[in-house]
Structure 1
Amino acid sequence: MRDEAAALISWYDRHARVMPWRCPPHSGARPDPYRIWLSEVMLQQTTVAAVRAYFLRFTERWPTVTALAQAQDAAVMAEWAGLGYYARARNLLKCARAVAQDHAGQFPQSYEGLLTLPGIGPYTAAAVAAIAFDQPATVVDGNVERVMARLFNVQTPLPQAKPELTALASSLTPTDRPGDYAQAVMDLGATICTPRNPACGLCPLRPFCAAQAAGTQADLPRKSPKPEKPTRQGTLWLARHPDGRWLVEQRGPKGLLGGMLGFPGTGWDKSTGAPPVIANWQDMGKVRHTFTHFHADMTVLAATTEAPPDHGMFQAINPDDLPTLMRKAYDLASSTLLPR
């Protein structure tokens, strides 16, 4: 084991973050592959603070991968509402069902075997292999890239530097306790080697850090400028029945917010269409929501009506089950349509 890895694992033994999906170092317990996989999928492009409550609800409702595989799509999508990047939830179900049907409810233990599962890419496969099965797989996320860029003073900007940073991370991955090492690097990036104002004085890798020695740590990793996100204009129609039900529709399984419950709309997802029902529509104003590749500026039109819709159906909804864009529109419209 290289000195850098040994120093980092020693630090992790004392300072490991407490997570509901983790087993503390030297506890003697083995991590549950299902919980590790679920947490890694949830944590993609989402903070630990945001994921905790979702993870606990999911694992209470579906404590095993087999239980999740048997869940209704709509129930899983409703529990996922608010976490964003809804393709992750659809892939979650595909993967759980593949594990249940093709692997007798047991996750493959190797990196290569995990890659055969739907929705699992190189990062997730490496994370599950290392953390759940203690395989010497190299786990590289944004935290790890930042640590490697500073440790080796890599000046190549991201994303061009990804192959170089992955190779450097691989050179440090030990065969002894690779799961703890993978979590240690991520913890270091999240708590010490942070994007701004890294706490170099507390860092166990300071004696080895080329960027700290050169005084460049605050400038790394360098990043190529991102192209500006385009803005799409659109409309959402929120129709409320006098009995309190709302006009909603189930979105198709693919594309933006696939499989989710939402209000009829047009424009933001490149669709075209007319109001779903004849009504006295009132302009409530606009809401903005940012997706991965674009901003959506949505005009919210609302009405109370008993007219039968051309598409969609009136039904009772729990606003907490709506994706964030739809919840923003609901909050805006309900302030006027709901009785005070």
Structure 2
Amino acid sequence: MTEETSLEQIVMPLLSWYDGHARVLPWRENTAPYRVWVSEIMLQQTRVEAVKPFFERFMKALPDVSALAACPEDELLKLWEGLGYYNRVRNMQKAAQVIMTEYSGEFPADFEKLLALPGIGSYTAGAISSIAFGIPMPAVDGNVLRVISRVKASYEDVLKQSVKNAMEAEIRELIPKERAGDFNQALIEIGAIVCVPNGKAKCEECPLAFCCRAKAEGIVDELPKKKAKKGRRIEDRTVLILKDGDRVAIRKRPAKGLLAGLYELPNLDGNLSEQQVLEQVKEWGLSPLRILPLAGAKHIFSHVEWHMTGYAVSLEETDHMEDSGFLFIETKETESSYPIPAAFAAYAEYLDIALGEEKYRKGKEV
């Protein structure tokens, strides 16, 4: 492929490949805009196989825009538990409410109107526009950035918005009007299962190998180019399982900030000793009977990494336990009613409960 060669030559081979290799996915069986939207938001930074059970459960509980718009927050966050980035589902609900009030509950078949909805960026607006409505707008995600960078042997930094904008404009000129959704999905699909990251591209299976400059030049594993991200901030946390018989203490996190509005196991800044923990428990007005150190754990967020120390503390039942500010609940209630983030999954195991994706791995009811 020469510098002057147009990307137009990828269109037909890509669509032919997609016709024979597209994965069967629940959101592809019915491309109603609501289903496309929910799946695309869930798929952001989450593996396809992991998303499938979440998607099915979410659609069963909230089958349409009106149900999402009216869903109580705790129930909504519980449905999202394990997917992370909880502001995404909060923005989904805000967008659903706008759709109910401004568009009579129907998704607008208009890219710019979709783009104006809370939590919907150019990629998601392009995906809904093309897949649900057949509007020829690009949907450029990390997969597409990688495929096109390799086909063109481009060393431009794909994390730059200007580079993404330029690629969107280039792809917009390629999209066949009669198969807009299929074309976008084909580009994403080939990046997901053939032109994969980390130098493991399956070039021998790729229908674009004939025109891929990165393959011809032997630089596939060097692309796409990304500027190194800043390292995550490390935070030490001490997580406590405070048990009163069959009840465990949880509390609601603040409405803003990391894991906003979710429930959590009590935790403290720093790596505390047993004595420090016992003193803190007494300061909360609780009466500790026994303390047991638990294994350490780690959880990675996008910009921060928790290094956790854990303790299980058995409490003496008193008349004033609720004055501590904690909610004491039966452990099984956390699975059904209280959204607890997967950051605490390592310690939830000591209570024989599963959080988020763990529920599906263990075959538990959800």
TM-score band, normalised by shorter chain: 0.7 to 0.9
The one-letter code of the counterpart of 2:13 is A
User: Which runs of no fewer than 5 residues in structure 1 stay unpaired?
Assistant: 24-29, 269-273, 336-340
Structure-1 residue corresponding to 2:314? 304
**1:275-294 paired onto structure 2 within 5 Å:** 275=281, 276-280=284-288, 281-294=291-304
Structure-2 residue corresponding to 1:20? 26
Instruction: Compare the two structures and name the one with the higher helix fraction.
Output: 2
| Correspondent of 2:327 among 313, 323, 328 | 313
Partner secondary structure for residue 2 of structure 1: helix
Structure-2 residue corresponding to 1:327? 345
Output one character per residue of 1:246-286: Cα deviation in whole Å (capped at 9) or x when no partner.
11112233321122121222338xxxxx5444233443242
Structure-2 residue corresponding to 1:181? 183
Q: CA deviation at 1:332?
A: 4.4
Partner secondary structure for residue 22 of structure 1: helix
Q: CA deviation at 1:334?
A: 6.5
Structure-2 residue corresponding to 1:130? 130
User: Which runs of no fewer than 5 residues in structure 2 stay unpaired?
Assistant: 1-6, 271-279, 354-366
Distance 2:287 2:241 in 1: 10
Structure 1's 332 and 295: CA in aligned 2 closer, same or farther, altered over 3 A? farther
Aligned residue-pair number: 323
Output one character per residue of 1:20-50: Cα deviation in whole Å (capped at 9) or x when no partner.
0114xxxxxx721000000001001111011
Partner secondary structure for residue 11 of structure 1: helix
Partner secondary structure for residue 21 of structure 1: helix
Structure 1's 9 and 67: CA in aligned 2 closer, same or farther, altered over 3 A? same
Distance 2:264 2:300 in 1: 17
The one-letter code of the counterpart of 2:325 is H
Q: Is the 8 A contact 1:148 1:168 kept in 2?
A: no
Partner secondary structure for residue 177 of structure 2: coil
Q: Is the 8 A contact 1:263 1:326 kept in 2?
A: yes
Structure-1 residue corresponding to 2:219? 216
Structure-2 residue corresponding to 1:253? 255
TM-score normalised according to structure 1 size: 0.88
* 1:140 paired to 2:143: no
Distance 2:114 2:268 in 1: 38
Output one character per residue of 1:190-234: Cα deviation in whole Å (capped at 9) or x when no partner.
111111321222211122212122221222112222222120112
Distance 1:170 1:312 in 2: 54
Structure-1 residue corresponding to 2:359? none
Q: CA deviation at 1:178?
A: 0.9
Output one character per residue of 1:94-147: Cα deviation in whole Å (capped at 9) or x when no partner.
222222233211111111001221111222111111111111111111100100
The one-letter code of the counterpart of 1:257 is L
Partner secondary structure for residue 287 of structure 2: coil
| Correspondent of 1:235 among 235, 238, 253 | 238
TM-score normalised according to structure 2 size: 0.82
Distance 2:117 2:231 in 1: 34
**1:61-210 paired onto structure 2 within 5 Å:** 61-160=61-160, 161-195=163-197, 196-210=199-213
* TM-align CA RMSD: 2.2
Distance 2:140 2:62 in 1: 28
